[in-house]
Amino acid sequence: MAGKTLYDKLWDDHLVKEREDGSSIIYIDRQLLHEVTSPQAFEGLRIANRKPWRVDANLATPDHNVPTTDRSEGVDGIVDNVSRIQVQTLDDNCDEFGVLEFKMNDQRQGIVHVVGPEQGATLPGMTVVCGDSHTSTHGAFGALAHGIGTSEVEHVLATQTLIQKKMKNMLVRVKGAVKEGITGKDIVLAIIGEIGTAGGTGYAIEFGGEAIANLSMEGRMTVCNMAIEAGARAGMIAVDQTTIDYVEGRTFAPKGSQWDLAVANWANLHSDDDAKFDKVIEIDGSKIQPQVTWGTSPEMVLPIDANIPNPESESDPVKRESIERALVYMDLKAGMAIKDIQLDSIFIGSCTNSRIEDMRAAAQVVKGKKIASSISQAMVVPGSGLIKAQAESEGLDKIFIDAGLEWREPGCSMCLAMNADKLESGKHCAATSNRNFEGRQGFGGRTHLVSPAMAAAAAIAGHFVDIREIEVSSSIES
Amino acid sequence: MKKFTELNGIVTPLDRANVDTDMIIPKQFLKSIKRTGFGQNLFDELRYMDEGQADQSCEGRPLNEEFVLNQSRYKGTSVLIARQNFGCGSSREHAPWALDDYGFRCVIAPSFADIFFNNCFKNGLLPIILSEENVDKLFTETFNNEGYEINIDLASQTITTPSGDVISFDIDAFRKHCLLNGLDEIGVTLDSEDDIKRYEVNRRLSAPWLFDAIKP
């Protein structure tokens, strides 16, 4: 019998029951909740007079709607009426149903996909769900993690399970080491550029190879975070010593003899050598360059030294029309150099790139410099209150502020602009987030996805530059 | 959940690939804590010329006359056809809620994003995958015939066009069963309560660290 993939193992470990047509009941170990996709689920429980199956499997925090500026007045201080009601509703629901929540002014609050791993609420071998497509992030821990809709949030609350059909297995192997200056963000954008935004549809993607194994947990989370941008609900990476070292000692991680038992168990969380994948993609890591998106889909991505494509050279009529439409929306010309795209705004944050390593990478680039006069908005939004505190203890906040960037409170912020942080219509933004869809960061806004270091370098230059060609501070200690 | 059995519906052609969920329902409308009322903001940025706000009446907003939903020939529509990878992006169930609230009961495309596809079934909305060739044919016939209406019969898994052509489609048996009978999936799952409890007992023995770590 052929060996099993990591996904096969995780699936088998959580299979409660399989029906004749292949639809299965899968047990869910952890559900993360936030204010946007949970109110209707809690309301559903109330209407049907149901209780959560296992309260201790859930952890909540508000992130999408919270202000990143002054929070001294608490939830009452949220100016937008509907945002305030949504945050208040999460607080009320968690109190009513007994779910642990890190409320807005708790230092442990933050973006749900940053908070879960940071607290050890995300562990290897788990099934992790959340009403948010970027739940794929947690797959970095050798977990089966994916986004779900609100009806499924309610289903998990009520039954601790989901009805699923097994996905197919895809391996994306990034062979060889990446060059200096290349990050997890560049790797995943290059992968999306290669396979397209629907390339992973119907698959669970395992990321492997030397370039992936060399990444820190932060880098791995960035890669898995954007699996959904390649169409795959779930992305995952095998457990190794890097994973174990990250998890050890975190608040909700096992301790003592349970820790030893867990670590022994996690040693199996990798694909067997003879495992069979339905599809294998190989990418040469040494050839990956800093990536920049130019269009309105994450697959519209190019290396920094490339030029914007000409729709006339695209033979597929559907793709040609997409390129034409994107060029109009982005107000860019075919053939123009990526480096010539002039920027108005910089956003460093989001569940993709707001962890301490991201903060450090951006700070190294801007240290001792000033942002370009053409940049009218530049903000750094840490992923959690704990990351904010860590960054401040390292003096990173001062580096950003001295360079002319704003240092904000944690939340999703201008990744999707549900709170007050919005990209103005017509403006170009270098963003470390995950989606460059039309209007994503604000009505009429134009998003370019990049790594934190590339966004920081663009802030200084006012346009995109190759991070490998600029001087980066070797030390971020002040 | 609303049943889906048979539908005769006017078809609206949305001739775009990679229609994402931000396009279907922009983020400012996700702040609602209800499941209803999203229809007026379906495709908001394509449909109106101005920027829509949550809690705002859409009466009197300037319309983009070129957008399909603003064309009188598609009035009363309940079937949407689109190009590949429909519903990509976020997991927001507000996307199927908005389609449903507007009056759509069925979306046809060559491919869908997984999460959106899954969310449709929880809301009595039928997503149908057809070949590129068949989707092309529906686009052409819709463009060429005002008031173009098709019949969708879930029990026989067929689409019948006005000229009598019959196109078959696939659907999972369990999903079909739930749609035809309007079943509440939570209720169905709780029929297997004993299986879940049995699994949980074993899991507590083999992986005890997964339980009781988080205490409110």
Which has the closest alpha carbon to A335: A289, A287, A294? Answer: A294
Place of tokens 């989370």: A221
Query: What is the sign, positive or negative, of the torsion defined by CA atoms of A358, A361, A365, A368?
Result: positive
CB < 8 Å to B213, chain A = 56, 120-121, 252-254
Q: Output the pTM of the full model.
A: 0.97
Q: Are strands A406-407 and A100-101 parallel, antiparallel or unpaired?
A: unpaired
Closest-CA residue of chain A to B33: A39
**Is A258–B172 a contact, with Cβ atoms under 8 angstroms apart?**
no
In the stretch 362-391 of chain A, residues with CB closer than 8 A to chain B read: none
| Nearest alpha-carbon partner for A429 in A417, A37, A363, A420 | A417
Considering CB atoms only, which of B189, B213, B215 is closest to A163? B189
Q: Do A149 and B185 touch (CB under 8 A)?
A: no
Question: Measured between alpha carbons, how far is B70 from B55 in angstroms, rounded to an integer?
Answer: 21
**Residues B172, A416: C-beta atoms closer than 8 Å:** no
Which of the four pLDDT bands, split at 50, 70 and 90, describes residue B23?
A: very high
Residue A116 pLDDT class (50, 70, 90 cuts): very high
The CA distance from B70 to the nearest CA of chain A, in Å, is 20
ipTM of the complex: 0.95
Do A178 and A187 contact (CB within 8 A), yes or no? yes
Share of chain A above pLDDT 90, in %: 96
Distance CA A459, CA A455 (A): 6
pLDDT at site A476: 64
A55 touches chain B (CB under 8 A): yes
pLDDT tens figures, B153-204 = 999 999 999 999 999 999 999 999 999 999 989 999 999 999 999 999 999 9
Inter-chain residue contact B27 with A19, CB threshold 8 Å: no
Interchain contact, B115 vs A149, CB within 8 Å: yes
pLDDT digits 0-9 by tens, A154-213? 999 999 999 999 999 999 999 999 999 999 999 999 999 999 999 999 999 999 999 999
Instruction: Determine the Cα–Cα distance for residues A224 and A213; give it in Å rounded to an integer.
Output: 13
Rounded to 5, what percent of chain A is helix, strand, coil? 40, 20, 45
* Residue A282, pLDDT above cutoff 50: yes
Q: Is residue A474 pLDDT above 80, yes or no?
A: no
The pLDDT, as a whole number, for residue A255 is: 97
Tens of pLDDT, residues B56-112: 899 999 999 999 999 999 999 999 999 999 999 999 999 999 999 999 999 999 999
Residue A56 is nearest to which of B32, B114, B211, comparing CB atoms? B211
Three-state DSSP class for residue A137: helix
Cβ–Cβ pairs < 8 A, chains A and B = 210
* Contact flag B93-A201 (C-beta cutoff 8 Å): no
Interface test with A, best of B186, B192, B193, B194 (most A CBs within 10 A): B186
Q: How far is A429 from chain B (nearest CA, A)?
A: 18
Residues 138-177 of chain B whose Cβ lies under 8 A from any Cβ of chain A? 172-175
Closest partner CB to B199 (pick from A27, A121, A163): A27
Q: Do B173 and A416 touch (CB under 8 A)?
A: no
**Is A478's pLDDT higher than 50?**
no
DSSP for B103-129, please give it.
T--EEEES-B-HHHHHHHHTTT-EEEE
CA of B179 vs chain A CAs: smallest distance (Å): 15
What is the average pLDDT value for chain A, to the nearest integer? 97
- In tens, the pLDDT along B204-216 reads 999 999 999 998 7
> How high is the pLDDT of residue B215?
82
Give residue-wise pLDDT tens across range A445-473.
Answer: 999 999 999 999 999 999 999 999 987 77
**Residue A291 forms contact with B (CB below 8 Å):** no
Choose the closest CB to B172 out of A29, A165, A253. Answer: A165
Does the pLDDT value for residue A475 go beyond 70?
no
Q: Which residues of B touch A435 (CB under 8 A)?
A: 20, 22, 89-90
* CA gap A267, A142 in Å, rounded: 10
Nearest to A150 among B31, B93, B211 (CB): B93
Residues 6+ apart with CB under 8 A from A392: none
**Per-residue pLDDT tens digits for A220-239:** 999 999 999 999 999 999 99
Type of residue at A438: E
Q: What was the pLDDT predicted at A162?
A: 98
Interface contact B111, partner A, CB < 8 A: yes
Asked whether the beta carbons of residue B23 and residue A20 sit closer than 8 angstroms, the reply is: no
Query: Which residues of chain A neighbour B83 with C-beta distances below 8 Å?
Result: 318
* Residues A340-381 pLDDT 10s: 999 999 999 999 999 999 999 999 999 999 999 999 999 999
| Angle of CA points A114, A192, A380, to nearest 5° | 35
Interface of A with B in 162-221 (CB under 8 A): 163, 165, 167, 197-198, 201-202
- Mean pLDDT estimate for chain B: 96
How many residues would you count in chain B?
Answer: 216
Please report which confidence band the pLDDT of residue A402 belongs to, taking 50, 70 and 90 as the band edges: very high
CB contact under 8 A, A83 and B31: yes
pLDDT digits (tens, 9 = 90+) for B118-164: 999 999 999 999 999 999 999 999 999 999 999 999 999 999 999 99
Q: Which of B210, B211, B212 to mutate: most A Cβ within 10 Å? A: B210
Strands of chain B (E only): list them. Answer: 6-14, 79-82, 106-109, 126-129, 149-153, 158-160, 166-168
Residue of A292, A291, A323, A290 whose CA lies nearest to A428: A292
